[in-house]
Structure 1
């Protein structure tokens, strides 16, 4: 006999889990939300998306202050109070997590602190207590990948430790040039570290548009970040004075560092909940397969977020959470939408839909159009550097197939292009929509005008 019963139980209170629980409660379900943390929000709010954006804002202010010297406005060298900066970051996180607790109370969502594992098709164990359930949602997220063969050393951090802001090392090596690694490089370079990024693949920000990535790479190198792509770390030695990373590939040699960050991706946590006991299969990567309704092969058990595989992004998890809740409540719902990606670097890099390389590989007929930010009045007047807005489109229908933006606030600008693609918009739709002047959003219309032969600003 179970100690307690939950009609609808969600395992994990990250962006997907709490969104699912709150949506289900709004739809009239009796909801229980389980998480081992003392605060709601999962990795994203507690040690990922939000703390990193707080530190990225600090990095942006430091760079903007230095940049203004060329405009005749001097602020002097920044004085870094690491304790105060850490406290500000933690305060922002606490404000948001406390807000989630309030939302859960107002929705009458039962919150249980503990680690849940399945013990049967309709039962769970939560810290030694047996629960039965009618329907369950697995939203247990992911964890940083640990590279094999590295020594145990306090100077070797994962992304979570890096965001704790333990110190600002004089020399920092970052292994992995994806979004997480590049954001860490942006933060620590601004705070004063000499940063070296080592990426195994030929390109940093793998999967993004190659031309846009070149703009980002040049900008980061201009900020003092050393980047070695097509390079792998073969050995790491933890000496008394420094870490030594042996490298081979495009860069051959050793890199000395006072700290190193492993930023080579994340692994799904599907293996943590004993899903097999409920009849749910978990693959070798910890991923649980789901359909468009977020159902596993067990109809009454759903899975959402990072545990369902790539792309491991909070906004995807949130939308999956809504879908799972709506399906469980008897509504018709499914997720078949574009998932945008954003690197909150300086400049930002954002993309959605097909890149030129993906369209070519898939044999999809396409053309490209773009607008360089060197010709954007707002970009130049705001002290912006190089940037690009690029659109991949169908040559016959002019419908948008993909878009990439690199430059200031690229993540915000991408939203218009995502909406355009979701609505089946054409180049004509973009070009004939009046954009305010001078704005960065004009670069979207200008890109469309360029393809149509009506551009007068280039």
Structure 2
């Protein structure tokens, strides 16, 4: 058996793993990243990037379709057609360029990449099944960055007409009837895109409203848009399985059961950490439920073993994994790095988009909220999308900003300002007295702060 050694061995080349590998290499550590699939992990290959590509294509198609009829802009165009296979090929090209970029960045940092399935022997040794045969790697420090996978319902196992987000993003034809089980962000993002491409979409959600992790005020504009797009939503409804002929989804809800005819059933009820099948359970690490327990340095209960990303719990977000990867690389290098983030933005790329950072209304005592609608913003009106608002949660004692949320078209690009304000312990006055460019959507952040201070100008 071939052998190698290194200072830092990372299992998984997703956002957390490859960023950890790049930063460790930059700091001079002899580093190896092991990945069974392509660099980039779920996010880059079958998640964040492919889904946003599909959403973009669907938005462009819907816009072109709108111009084939009467519209306020006076634009006339022929009825568009969509070749989804070509769209998917374009999406795959974007992914290929980005995965190639990750490989280049690892090489630039002098970090070695090993392709193959890893299996942990002990906290200092990993065996990798490569195309050239088994490879044993010994290391001083081990990083677990194995990510997560779609949660599979026992009564709706993946296969045939039942698909996960991975298969949904590789469809080469728009399904006639698509039923989405789960009204969270993944299901609504893909479901909305498919509806814009021409599918008849139905959403089945067990909770009493969509996107239950957000408050009702934030989700109301999204619900209104779903209805405008012709998407049927069944709330307080639970999927039971497929009909005998497999052509319909069986659903229980108040008032009786339903049979929803479905060409495809997309199951998006969450994700589960990848912690089995590669020897992790043999290490005997302290667990936090289904997740690996870590401290402020992302260290596990075993000396020299770290864990980052989805395997460490919620929020399962790529940018959280990246930040944790940097913490581990710098901590191992002896730098004063620690996980002390005050704000991790969460973005839902529905239509309209949702951004939340920090505290929600009512989560902190002695706090209050202020809200400014996009209907009072000039830039939003010129974009023909003035639904939604920006909302600030702040301390009534010292005016410190505790949380910022927004729902509206394009608000995902405002997430950085929201997070920066909280990380820098900004006050309402800090935001209100910062000059924001006109005309932009970000003016609404300043206007919200002004409103909270009783100094509103444009409402």
Give CA deviations for 1:82-137 in whole Å, capped at 9, x if unaligned: 22111100000001011111112222211111111211232112124332211010
Deviation at 1:421, TM superposition (A): 0.9
Q: Aligned partners of 1:308 and 1:151: how far apart in 2?
A: 25
Give CA deviations for 1:322-362 in whole Å, capped at 9, x if unaligned: 00100111111112211111111111111111111433xxx
Kept in 1: contact 2:23–2:109 (CA 8 A): no
2:73 to 71, 74, 77: 71
The equivalent of 1:452 in structure 2 is 453
Kept in 1: contact 2:155–2:240 (CA 8 A): no
2:155 to 134, 149, 153: 149
Tell me the SS of whatever aligns to 2:402: strand
Q: Aligned partners of 2:350 and 2:26: how far apart in 1?
A: 36
The equivalent of 1:11 in structure 2 is 11
Q: Whose helix fraction is larger, Structure 1's or Structure 2's?
A: 1
Matches within 5 A, 1:295-444: 295-337=299-341, 338-359=343-364, 364-444=365-445
Give CA deviations for 1:220-259 in whole Å, capped at 9, x if unaligned: 211111122221112322526x223223247742211111
Runs (5+) with no aligned partner, structure 2: none
Q: Aligned partners of 2:157 and 2:212: how far apart in 1?
A: 27
Deviation at 1:282, TM superposition (A): 4.2
Runs (5+) with no aligned partner, structure 1: none
Which has the larger displacement, 196-205 or 39-48? Answer: 196-205
Q: Aligned partners of 1:87 and 1:281: how far apart in 2?
A: 43
> CA RMSD of the aligned region, Å?
1.7
Give CA deviations for 1:193-237 in whole Å, capped at 9, x if unaligned: 011111111221222232011111111211111122221112322
Q: Aligned partners of 1:244 and 1:179: how far apart in 2?
A: 21
Tell me the SS of whatever aligns to 1:100: helix
Q: Aligned partners of 1:144 and 1:250: how far apart in 2?
A: 30
The equivalent of 2:45 in structure 1 is 46
Deviation at 1:191, TM superposition (A): 0.8
Tell me the SS of whatever aligns to 2:114: strand
- Aligned residue pairs: how many? 451
Matches within 5 A, 1:127-166: 127=129, 128-150=134-156, 153-166=159-172
Which has the larger displacement, 246-255 or 377-386? Answer: 246-255
Tell me the SS of whatever aligns to 1:439: coil
| Residue 270 of structure 2 is aligned to residue 268 of structure 1 | no
The equivalent of 2:31 in structure 1 is 31
Matches within 5 A, 1:277-296: 277-282=282-287, 285=290, 287-296=291-300
Kept in 2: contact 1:151–1:236 (CA 8 A): no
Tell me the SS of whatever aligns to 2:276: helix
The equivalent of 1:126 in structure 2 is 128
Q: Aligned partners of 1:249 and 1:358: how far apart in 2?
A: 31
Deviation at 1:64, TM superposition (A): 2.5
Kept in 1: contact 2:309–2:316 (CA 8 A): yes
Q: Aligned partners of 1:225 and 1:412: how far apart in 2?
A: 26
Kept in 1: contact 2:297–2:338 (CA 8 A): yes
Q: Aligned partners of 1:134 and 1:153: how far apart in 2?
A: 41
Q: State TM-score, norm by structure 2.
A: 0.94
Deviation at 1:153, TM superposition (A): 4.2
Matches within 5 A, 1:162-177: 162-177=168-183
